[in-house]
Structure 1
Amino acid sequence: MSDNIIWILLGKYASGEITAEELAALDALIAAHPDAAVLKTLATSIWELPTDAMPAHPVVHQRIWNRVNIRVRHSFAWRSPRRLAAAAAIIVVIGWIAWKIMMPYVYSPRQQISEAGTGKLSLTLPDGSKVCLNHHSRLVYDDRQFGKKNREVTLTGEAFFEVAGHAAHPFVIHTSRMNITVLGTSFNVKAYATDSIISTTLISGKIAVSFPHQPGKAVELLPNEKIIVPAATASTNIVRSFAQKDSSGKATDLLWLNNKLVFDNESFATLAQQMEQWYGVSIHFAHPSLMQLKFSGIIDTEPIEETLKALQLSRSFTFQVHNREVWIDK
């Protein structure tokens, strides 16, 4: 048993993780194993070698092996059974050391980040699922795990998903206030950080929506259904409704895919938030009463100045645009 323990203790000694009791036990074992004293020095010297900034895995492995191989060749003549046993011990100790060096690189997540700026961004994920990101939206996933151990993404903003079927790994979208699990379907998720609500609209298939702030609660949506939750963490109100459609029968939540922003009897404050995302601007109100004005309509691809002029036809206000700043006044 002592032959097994000594190699474990040598690895802990080299990495600096050995306790006082284990160090005392190691010294006692070394006294009975003279070759182990050489291993103790060798293991420490290898551990203390500078590794610089570690690059990709194959290079790291080669660097470690080159250092170990040179030192091992100069430390032993592989003759006696006792020294052959010591050589085997080196492999164990070096394996421990290499593991401690490589562990952060093996297990640290590698984020794949896709961001849409002032326009839309279409992308295909490694599993074949298709995503269209709306203006100023961000999708993040771990490309070492995605499609292999899971299919989980985190969304900030708005996106339309067409999810490829994969029975072994459900597709999961995380937002700040809801998690959406699906096996294969198409749906829209709107979860901008500045929005007062977060919503998902199912177009086809079936999804299950759960809520991080309400453990154990889940809602299954059918096609043309919609879930809305408040963005404020203190609220637990969940609204389930049918998706609103335009005259052609298309869900209005999807009109952004055709470069259209739809609003129906919405306050100027709410509309301003949508316009900020749509145009990449900041909108400021000189008087709080202006924020309560109500508007209905559709914004297409026209510049923001043209949109504001169109809004002026139904409500009285003035505006000024300077670079990316918009000022609304009476």
Structure 2
Amino acid sequence: MSDDIIWILLGKQASGEITAEELTALDVLLAGHPDAAALQKLVTSIWESPTNVMPVDQAAHQRIWNRVNNQARHSSAWRIPRRLAAAAAIVVVIGWTAWKITMPHVYSSRQQISEAGAGKLSLTLPDGSKVCLNHHSRLEYDDQQFGKKNREVMLTGEAFFEVAGHAAHPFIIHTSRMNITVLGTSFNVKAYATDSIISTTLISGKIAVSFPHQPGKALELQPNEKIIVPATTTASINVVRSLAQKDSSGKATDLLWLNNKLVFDNESFATLAKQMEQWYGVSIHFAHPSLMQLKFSGIIDTEPIEETLKALQLSRSFTFQVHNREVWIDR
């Protein structure tokens, strides 16, 4: 009985229609369940899947409903609308079957996820393409499809790609605000969830950039070109196209992170703080809004954050305190 109630309540939670009383009851039930986290993950996956992926015939649907309805009638705490109960009951039967039979394989074989954490991560994809992920970046792809039916990845954060040629399947990187189609090239993409902009810088070859919110809009980049788009979800997209900025050695500054260097040129403290949060894995807080407008130029190498802040103090007046991973900036 308790497992059935857990499945029903997890179905209601996934649909967003769970009450506060039911949520409290669910928390209590899950607290004593040895596989609570995995149960929640499985129900969410099933709930978000297209309904035609797991068909249920009408007779089975009615049997499921009758079973859940009989349970719900005996306790006011579990009374739920027929539409939602039927849906939740489908989750119960399908989810329980998946749990018993396929659970060991659902997440290990379909989705490959690589995360850089606080450092960088280099990896080679099944097609031979090479990727270097920057700090706190995430790359996802379906290893049952990648290289066979497509070469599509989802990026959150920043990465440098060296893409192997593959005539049948172009390489496509999806971000929240633009999709990049590649035909054998090297380029940088920066698409952190906390950034106000998303950018890509082409080093060699050619890429085509399209925009999910404007299907008819597309741009082709040539080597040493860069485009920037806002990370907001408004329908219109203001694209800034320019030449890639280079340092004195002729290397694109957007790639200096590959050599453990963070370059900033006349950046506000607010913008720089976001980059430092990603670089060091910290949270930076300002005691006064005026401090966020201070401007800085320079290069951060591999020095600790305390040393970086001391160097910034040489050009601007502020104080700081560092406690664990929290940084406080004051006057």
The reply to whether TM is greater than 0.5 is yes
| Total equivalences in the alignment | 243
- Structure 1 CA distance for aligned equivalents of residues 58 and 293 of structure 2: 68
- For normalisation by structure 1, the TM-score amounts to 0.70
Cα drift, residue 213 of structure 1: 1.2
Are residues 1:127 and 2:92 paired? no
> 1:92-112, CA deviations, whole angstroms, 9 ceiling, x for partnerless residues?
xxxxxxxxxxxxx89x98211
Deviations for 1:126-154, whole angstroms, at most 9, x for unmatched residues? Answer: 00000000000000001110000000000
**How far apart, CA to CA, are the structure 2 residues paired with 1:200 and 1:13?**
48
1:16 CA drift (Å): 2.8
Measure how far apart 1:186 and its partner are: 0.2
- For residue 101 of structure 2, the aligned residue among 20, 43, 54 is 54
CA distance in 2, matches of 1:137, 1:167: 28
Instruction: Report what 2:300 is aligned to.
Output: 299
Q: Distance in 2 between matches of 1:236 and 1:128?
A: 33
Hey, what's the Cα distance between the residues in 1 that align with 2:232 and 2:225?
22
Equivalence for 1:89: none
* 1:16 counterpart SS class: helix
1:224 pairs with 2:224: yes
Residues 1-330 of structure 1 mapped to structure 2, 5 A cutoff: 16=60, 53-55=100-102, 110-234=110-234, 235-330=236-331
Aligned equivalents of 2:151, 2:59: Cα separation in 1? 36
**Aligned equivalents of 2:248, 2:272: Cα separation in 1:** 22
Q: Displacement of 1:264 after TM fit?
A: 0.3
CA RMSD of aligned residues (A): 2.5
Q: Distance in 2 between matches of 1:244 and 1:13?
A: 60
Q: 1:327 to 1:16 in 2, by over 3 A?
A: same
Q: What is the CA–CA distance in structure 2 between the aligned matches of 1:249 and 1:125, rounded to whole Å? A: 29
User: Post-superposition shift, 1:56?
Assistant: 8.4
Q: Is the alpha carbon distance of 1:167 and 1:324 closer, same or farther for their aligned partners in structure 2, counting shifts above 3 Å?
A: same
Residues 23-60 of structure 1, C-alpha deviation per residue, up to 9 Å, x if partnerless? xxxxxxxxxxxxxxxxxxxxxxxx9xx96611489xxx
Q: Provide the rounded CA distance (Å) in 1 between the counterparts of 2:233 and 2:146.
A: 29
Closer, same or farther: CA 13–136 of 1 in aligned 2, 3 Å: closer
Distance in 1, matches of 2:188 and 2:100, equals 42
Distance in 2 separating the partners of 1:191 and 1:223: 20
Structure of higher CA gyration radius: 1
SS of aligned partner of 1:118: coil
**Which ranges of 4 or more aligned residues in structure 1 deviate by more than 3 Å?**
12-15
Identity %: 87
Residue aligned with 2:159, SS:
strand
Q: Cα 1:14–1:159, aligned 2, differ >3 Å: closer, same or farther? A: same
Deviations 1:193-215 (Å, cap 9, x if unpaired)? Answer: 00010000000000000011111
Query: Judging changes above 3 Å, is the alpha-carbon distance between structure 1 residues 300 and 164 closer, same or farther for their aligned structure 2 residues?
Result: same
- AA aligned to 2:101 is M
Amino acid at match of 1:314: S
Query: Once the 2 structures are TM-superposed, how far is the Cα of residue 156 of structure 1 from its aligned partner?
Result: 0.2
Task: Supply the distance in 2 between the matched residues of 1:13 and 1:292 (Cα, whole angstroms).
Answer: 62
Deviation of the 1:17 alpha carbon: 6.7
Structure 1: gaps (5+ residues): 1-11, 19-46, 58-104
Task: Report the AA paired with residue 127 of structure 2.
Answer: D
SS in 2 for 1:277: helix
In 1, the alpha carbon distance for the partners of 2:156 and 2:281 equals 15
Say if 1:144 and 1:319 are closer, same or farther in 2 by CA, change over 3 A: same
Provide, for residues 264-311 of structure 1, a one-character-per-residue CA deviation record: whole Å limited to 9, x for no partner.
Answer: 000000000000000000000000000000000000000000000000
- So what's the TM-score if we normalise by structure 2? 0.69
- 1:30 counterpart residue number: none
CA distance in 1 between partners of 2:226 and 2:208 (Å): 12
Residues 1:161 and 1:17: Cα distance change in structure 2 (over 3 Å): same
What is the identity, as a one-letter code, of the residue corresponding to 2:146? Answer: F
